[in-house]
Amino acid sequence: MNGIYIHIPYCRQVCYYCDFHFRVAMRDKAAMLAAMKQEMEYRRNYLRLNGETGRVAADTLYFGGGTPSVLSVGELGMLMREIERHYRLLPDAEITLEANPDDLTDDYLSGLRDLGINRLSVGVQSFHDDDLRRLNRRHTAREAYHSVERAQRKGFGNISIDLMYGLPAMSSDRWRYCLHTAFSLDVPHLSAYHLTVEPRTVFGKRQNKGENFHIAEEDSAAQFDLLADACEAAGYEHYEISNFARTGFQARHNTAYWRQQPYIGIGPSAHSYNGTSRQWNVNNNTRYIELLTDTPKDEQWCEREILSPFDAYNDYILTALRTSRGVRKDEVRQQFGDAFADGFVQQAVKHLRQACIVEHNGSYTLTRKGKFIADGIISDLMMTDDDG
């Protein structure tokens, strides 16, 4: 099945840890929406696989960013009408909007419901006001809590909360408090990310000048353990390294992405994948608008890469190993051939010995220990021409 991703490249203010593509200046918002409409038109055949005719069916639509909730209900409605002109959203499609708590007023929530948005991903990050100030978030902990309650009263049952850990000055007690506050809201999905300091961010620049944002590795590990244990005890399945869900509430859009299903990404910096190639749009708002507004030649607003067998295999390892479904030996053999399957089994031996991976009926999954050092294990399992 197909997914549609719409990147809204605006935020009301800069969170100091954030490395996503966004701009605070929204002067060009109308031109941006027109350009996105244009991109949908030009790329209406992108997901037309196997000679499919008519409007291609999609079962997930995801508004990400940036902050999609900076758009009015009218603007979101315009984008949705445009999407439905080119795609047939299935009746039970998962339609997610990432939102900041301060945007979720009663009226706005009612408008989102009327548009058919049926899942919210709310950027809470912390239930401590001092953390939120340090991260330069716009909302308080209390506002975040009440925004989720308001959304629930408006009928949103499928809500995910984003939280961060590994923050400077975060003790286990403070992290436990964030988790238990999230559980008290009874949301069916949680995403939790360790702070990483990227060079282009405000934290990255401050770190260059000598400020220290790192916490000790044993504290990181303890907070990850606390996260996994607390979520499990509260009835959430740890179905991807950073994601936890109650039964039936795994994020369908992201799960499809982790299973290499095709998706189209619209908007600056958005990525797309159609089974044989991946492409990514220019990550500059002005340039994106210019390239979509002039008569476009050869899709100059994006770059494209045809996937080699090694790229496709590495993408599979990168995404599959992060999930509770894991890497399946038979799947590797079927999709990539004997050389990749045998190479994988051989490479996995040392991680099995170190109890970072377990194997069960041909399915290889990360253990708790392995999840904490997943990036290193994944890069070790990747293959290049030299391994061939």
Task: Note the residues at the interface with ligand SF4 (CB under 6 A).
Answer: 11, 14-15, 18, 20, 22, 65-67, 100, 123
**Nearer residue to ligand SF4 within complex by CB, 29 or 86:** 29
**Nearer residue to ligand SF4 within complex by CB, 84 or 143:** 143
Residue 111 Cβ vs ligand SF4, minimum distance, rounded to whole Å? 20
Query: Using CA atoms, how far apart are residues 164 and 192, in angstroms rounded to an integer?
Result: 5
**Nearer residue to ligand SF4 within complex by CB, 166 or 370:** 166
Query: Using CA atoms, how far apart are residues 213 and 198, in angstroms rounded to an integer?
Result: 11
Residue 147 Cβ vs ligand SF4, minimum distance, rounded to whole Å? 14
**Nearer residue to ligand SF4 within complex by CB, 22 or 249:** 22
Residue 16 Cβ vs ligand SF4, minimum distance, rounded to whole Å? 9
**Nearer residue to ligand SF4 within complex by CB, 38 or 69:** 69
Number of H helices, E strands in the chain: 15, 15
Q: Are 257 and 272 in contact (CB under 8 A)?
A: no
Q: How many CB atoms sit inside 10 A of residue 293's CB?
A: 12
Residue 36 Cβ vs ligand SF4, minimum distance, rounded to whole Å? 17
Helix residue ranges per DSSP H, the chain: 29-42, 73-86, 106-115, 129-135, 141-153, 172-184, 202-208, 217-233, 252-258, 285-293, 309-320, 329-336, 338-353, 368-372, 374-381
Name the pairing type of β-strands 263-266 and 3-8: parallel
Residue 7 Cβ vs ligand SF4, minimum distance, rounded to whole Å? 10
CA 167 to chain centre: 20
CA atoms within 13 A on the CB side of 305: 11
Residue 20 Cβ vs ligand SF4, minimum distance, rounded to whole Å? 4
**Nearer residue to ligand SF4 within complex by CB, 14 or 90:** 14
272 bridge partner residues = 279
**Nearer residue to ligand SF4 within complex by CB, 70 or 89:** 70
Residue 135 Cβ vs ligand SF4, minimum distance, rounded to whole Å? 8
63 bridge partner residues = 6, 97
